[in-house]
């Protein structure tokens, strides 16, 4: 079946265009042109590549955790496809060594099975700073050991993408270099480190910061911390733009400081794509109330966020719509080296397309 799509606006992964036509045959884009042939299917809104989300803790009622197998990963990917994501990195937060090994193996098996939308794996912890634990289980946080390093380097070689969030207090510069040399995308997060320690970790091979501003040393005028290292450097950083994790004024500062160095993440949990109002995490109850997820004491525990809402939040903070769209598509796809397959609209690509209203509200994936 061939469809000729004529949207009001086309976002190609970098820029917004008017008067463009996208031809789709089966599940492939066969042409992107400026002509508008008779009979083209008008789309009242924006046609864009599907989102790329690099921090997805769960969805469809499931968390990435001890019980995760290939089928669970397929279920989570399918839930996020309904939320506009063409590709995701399922994210395991701090857990026991045997759980980390099990989830790595499940991801390898799911990739071998061709699970749609599965890009690789994000391990957020357990090698973090307990002073910046957030909702992570303090009893499971520990420094990076030699056996951990061996496991992670092997996983980085076996997976198309392995993102590892760690605190530089919990890993040496040499360990960071070994991880990066093995192919891991090392991200600094959950850290109370100094500016100098952060810069040393970036020089050793870390390239990203996890959820900028959250669970990290803040920027003071004599102690710029990890936030200062990101805002004054060239590392990229994810943002949870729900208006709760980061104040809009801080978002505006980051947007002005960092050009194309920022991308949006959902940091979503099991409730994504469901009507659940609570779930358990390592034996602790997580409550869903008024657009936020918290422990009973009020500590934020991930986000109740869709990426279209995140885009609207950064637009309100000063980003133009094209930049907001790039922060959920082309920029994260390029960061993980997947921009040849995801994050752009071009002939020869899979037709992983979404339709949005002009205010960036997601209508849904384009059915192909």
What are the b/e assignments for 82-117, b being 16+ CB within 10 Å? ebbbbbbbbbbbbbeeebbebbbebbbebbeeebeb
Residue 184 phi/psi, 5-degree rounding, is: -75, 145
Is there a contact between 107 and 90 (Cβ–Cβ < 8 Å)?
yes
H/E stretch holding 45 reads: strand 41-49
Three-state DSSP class for residue 204: helix
Q: Report how far residue 14's alpha carbon sits from residue 330's, in angstroms, rounded to the nearest whole number.
A: 6
H/E stretch holding 249 reads: helix 248-257
H/E stretch holding 166 reads: strand 162-166
Please tell me which residue in 12, 129, 267, 352 is annotated as part of the active site.
267
Is there a contact between 366 and 355 (Cβ–Cβ < 8 Å)?
yes
Q: Catalytic: 8?
A: no
Give yes or no for a cis peptide into 345 (omega within 30° of 0): no
Residue from 149, 86, 146 nearest 123 by CA: 149
Residues with catalytic annotation? Answer: 267
């Amino acid at each position: 079946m061939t469809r000729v799509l004529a949207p009001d606006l086309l976002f190609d992964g970098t820029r917004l265009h008017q008067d463009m036509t996208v031809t789709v045959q089966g599940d492939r884009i066969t042409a992107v042109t400026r002509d508008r042939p008779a009979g083209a299917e008008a789309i009242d809104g924006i046609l864009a590549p599907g989102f790329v989300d690099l921090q997805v803790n769960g969805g469809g009622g499931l968390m990435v955790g001890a019980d995760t197998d290939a089928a669970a990963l397929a279920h989570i990917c399918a839930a996020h496809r309904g939320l506009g994501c063409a590709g995701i990195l399922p994210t395991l937060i701090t857990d026991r060594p045997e759980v980390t090994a099990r989830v790595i193996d499940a991801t390898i098996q799911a990739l071998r099975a061709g699970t749609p939308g599965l890009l690789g794996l994000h391990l957020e912890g357990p090698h973090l700073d307990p002073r910046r634990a957030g909702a992570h289980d303090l009893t499971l946080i520990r420094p990076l050991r030699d056996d951990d390093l061996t496991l992670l380097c092997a996983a980085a070689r076996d997976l198309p993408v392995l993102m590892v969030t760690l605190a530089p207090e919990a890993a040496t510069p040499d360990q960071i270099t070994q991880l990066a040399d093995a192919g891991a995308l090392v991200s600094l997060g959950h850290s109370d480190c100094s500016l100098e320690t952060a810069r040393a970790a970036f020089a050793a091979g870390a390239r990203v910061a996890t959820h900028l501003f959250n669970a990290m040393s803040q920027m003071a005028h004599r102690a710029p911390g990890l936030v200062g290292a990101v805002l004054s450097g060239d590392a990229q950083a994810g943002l949870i733009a729900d208006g709760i994790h980061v104040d809009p004024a801080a978002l505006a500062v980051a947007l002005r400081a960092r050009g194309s160095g920022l991308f949006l993440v959902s940091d979503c949990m099991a409730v994504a794509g469901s009507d659940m109002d609570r779930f358990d995490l390592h034996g602790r109850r997580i409550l869903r109330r008024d657009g936020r997820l918290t422990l009973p004491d009020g500590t934020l525990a991930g986000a109740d966020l869709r990426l279209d809402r995140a885009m609207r939040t950064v637009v309100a903070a000063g980003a133009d719509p094209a930049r907001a769209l790039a922060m959920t598509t082309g920029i994260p796809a390029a960061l993980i080296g997947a921009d040849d397959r995801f994050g752009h609209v071009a002939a020869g690509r899979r037709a992983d397309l979404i339709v949005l209203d002009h205010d960036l509200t997601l209508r849904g994936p384009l059915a192909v």
